[in-house]
């Protein structure tokens, strides 16, 4: 299946407007996840035309990267998707403590570990997961190392995740920011300024959590939230507690729009983020192959001005999230 693609900024890479996220495949924070099911999801995504997979070293303390490698084993080179991963969160040998660090020695150790787990010689997009918190490493220092990795051919493109406009401007003076990965959805709209910056600087944008961790699928209810397993991080998050009523009201308001287009509520939510100028693609998760069909139509769906006005009105009426309500 041929899905629409967009250029990832000036990187020379064209990606489908939707890509597969693998956080849950790490089997940490989302309850139980079977590796065989994860592998089946990745392979199904590739078969449906998705040409990129997003992962991170910290997902399952390296496990998600290993699952990606297992899933891609045996797929011909011409059919393999791009693989994007992240650096910047490390863990102790027991896996009990994590730290946000980006000193040069750690970055070089981490790139080699990711290359080994992914069983590849080069990573298509290597991203700084978060600004460092536990060590005093200035952005100028760790971005220089990222640029060196690109020059050495260990990575094809470099990006920043969860960084603000000030960070982007500092990094751009050292080496071009090929990509930005911010959280963005009809609920969490706080990255609009960063997306606008990227649009003006030929920086690609792949947004994460466009379905707000399931809230905008149309399948959630207060009862389902109460039934989430103890190991699921969502049980205690504000989006699923104090903000739940407003978020479910917004999801409900998307139902008539979905019905007009003949797609799911999830597809409308993903299409909404893709309607923003500057957004290249959206990372969407799936824990079972059948879940891909719910949001895959968003790849080619174009919302009308009337749709966008209706969604903006619903955001205001529900009081969900914060930030600009319309592209």
Beta bridge partners, 18, equal 282
Indicate the number of domains in the chain: 1
Whether residue 307 lies inside any domain: the answer is no
pLDDT higher than threshold 80 for residue 32: no
219: tokens are: 């399948």
Whether residue 23 lies inside any domain: the answer is yes
Give mean pLDDT, residues 110-117. Answer: 98
In contact, 168 and 177? CB cutoff 8 Å: yes
Whether residue 281 lies inside any domain: the answer is no
Whether residue 207 lies inside any domain: the answer is no
Calculate ∠ Cα 236-210-81, nearest 5°.
115
In contact, 22 and 86? CB cutoff 8 Å: no
pLDDT higher than threshold 70 for residue 1: no
- Residue 285: CB partners within 8 Å, gap ≥ 6? 20, 21, 22, 23, 24, 211
Whether residue 235 lies inside any domain: the answer is no
> What is the Cα–Cα distance from 250 to 319, expressed in whole angstroms?
8
User: Hey, CA dihedral for 84, 100, 153, 164, is it positive or negative?
Assistant: positive
In the three-class reduction of DSSP (H, G, I as helix; E, B as strand; rest coil), residue 21 is classed as strand
Give mean pLDDT, residues 25-34. Answer: 75
Question: How does pLDDT run across 183-223, given as a tens digit for each residue?
Answer: 999 999 999 999 999 999 999 999 999 999 889 998 888 88
Least confident span in 12-21, 63-72, 118-127, 218-227: 218-227
**Whole-model pTM?**
0.94
> What is the Cα–Cα distance from 15 to 30, expressed in whole angstroms?
27
Whether residue 275 lies inside any domain: the answer is no
Whether residue 220 lies inside any domain: the answer is no
> What is the Cα–Cα distance from 190 to 11, expressed in whole angstroms?
25
The pLDDT confidence band at residue 7, using thresholds 50, 70 and 90, is very high
Question: How does pLDDT run across 142-151, given as a tens digit for each residue?
Answer: 999 999 999 9
Q: Which domain, by its residues, includes 130?
A: 13-181
In contact, 98 and 91? CB cutoff 8 Å: yes
Whether residue 109 lies inside any domain: the answer is yes
Give the domain CATH number at 100: 3.20.20.100
Pairing mode of beta strands 14-16, 18-21? unpaired
Residue 128: which H helix or E strand, with range? strand 123-128
């Amino acid at each position: 299946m041929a899905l629409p693609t967009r250029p990832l900024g000036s990187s020379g890479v064209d990606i489908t407007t939707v890509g597969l996220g693998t956080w849950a495949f790490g089997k940490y924070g989302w309850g139980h996840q079977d590796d065989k099911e994860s592998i089946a999801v990745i392979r199904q995504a590739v078969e449906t035309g998705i040409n990129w997979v997003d992962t991170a070293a910290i997902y399952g303390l390296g496990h998600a990267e290993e699952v990606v490698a297992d899933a891609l084993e045996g797929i011909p080179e011409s059919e393999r998707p791009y693989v994007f991963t992240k650096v910047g969160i490390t863990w102790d040998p027991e896996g009990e403590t994590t730290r946000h660090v980006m000193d040069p020695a750690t970055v070089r150790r981490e790139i080699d570990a990711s290359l080994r787990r992914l069983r590849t010689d080069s990573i298509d997009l290597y991203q700084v997961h978060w600004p460092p918190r536990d060590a005093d490493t200035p952005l100028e220092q760790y971005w220089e190392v990222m640029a060196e990795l690109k020059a050495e051919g260990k990575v094809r493109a470099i990006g920043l995740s969860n960084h603000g406009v000030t960070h982007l401007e500092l990094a751009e003076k050292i080496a071009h920011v090929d990509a930005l990965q911010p959280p963005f959805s009809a609920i969490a709209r706080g990255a609009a300024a960063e997306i606008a910056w990227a649009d003006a600087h030929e920086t690609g944008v792949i947004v994460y959590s466009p379905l707000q961790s399931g809230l905008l699928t149309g399948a959630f209810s207060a009862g389902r939230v109460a039934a989430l397993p103890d190991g699921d991080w969502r049980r205690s998050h504000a989006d699923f507690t104090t903000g739940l009523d407003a978020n479910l009201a917004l999801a409900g308001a998307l139902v008539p729009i979905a019905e007009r287009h003949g797609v799911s509520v999830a597809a409308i939510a993903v299409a909404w983020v893709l309607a923003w100028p500057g957004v290249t693609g959206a990372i969407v998760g799936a824990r079972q192959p059948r879940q891909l069909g719910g949001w895959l139509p968003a790849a080619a769906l174009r919302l009308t001005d009337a749709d966008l006005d209706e969604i903006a009105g619903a955001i205001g009426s529900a009081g969900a999230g914060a930030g600009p309500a319309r592209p």
